[in-house]
Amino acid sequence: MQQKYTPSYPDLMEVQFAPGEHNSSLRAKKSFSTGDVIADLSKAYFVPQKTRFTVQVGVDQHIELGSDLVYMNHSCEPNAAFNVSSEDPSQWKAIALKDIEEGSELTFFYPSTEWDAAEPFECKCGSQSCLKTFKGAKSVTTDTLKKQAYISRHIWQLVEERDGGEP
């Protein structure tokens, strides 16, 4: 049974709770334009280990979002991103990659931050370009990553190491 829900960003987003394991999602409570900041990540904090609920922010650094943002699901055609490329954590933001209508699900491309998934899953995003499984950017070709509007700096760094200097 779900406890009383207090939204973290009541004017911006709300969790749509769904029965079953990990089936809930995050919906926009207002429209956003491409490039808008959806929310800052000021409630986030560093954790020592990755889980299915953490976001990777560096080659070996992970955060818990500490807010409703943790309910943002993965999509292979996302409308949002966690821009964690700044060296200054106060600059980390959830941003809109597309125009987003009120009521739409907010999604991000998990390989944009995650190199090696803590817990891989079969993707149910249903988009035309669905990659079918999420295992982390490590398992995604460089060409596929380049088609995304946002990939974080640490992921490009790790791709460069994987590809032998050719990002």
Residues of this chain that bind ligand SAM (CB under 6 A): 22-25, 52-53, 70-71, 73-75, 119, 121, 123-125
CA 143 from chain centre, in angstroms, equals 20
Q: Between residues 130 and 157, which has the closer beta carbon with respect to ligand SAM?
A: 130
**How many other β-carbons are positioned within 10 Å of the β-carbon of residue 14?**
19
Q: Between residues 56 and 75, which has the closer beta carbon with respect to ligand SAM?
A: 75
> Between β-strands 107-108 and 73-74, what pairing exists: parallel, antiparallel or unpaired?
parallel
Q: Between residues 99 and 119, which has the closer beta carbon with respect to ligand SAM?
A: 119
Query: In the bound complex, what is the minimum distance in angstroms from residue 150's beta carbon to ligand SAM?
Result: 17
Query: In the bound complex, what is the minimum distance in angstroms from residue 83's beta carbon to ligand SAM?
Result: 17
Query: In the bound complex, what is the minimum distance in angstroms from residue 160's beta carbon to ligand SAM?
Result: 27
Rounded Cα–Cα distance for residues 116 and 167 (Å): 18
Q: Between residues 32 and 134, which has the closer beta carbon with respect to ligand SAM?
A: 134
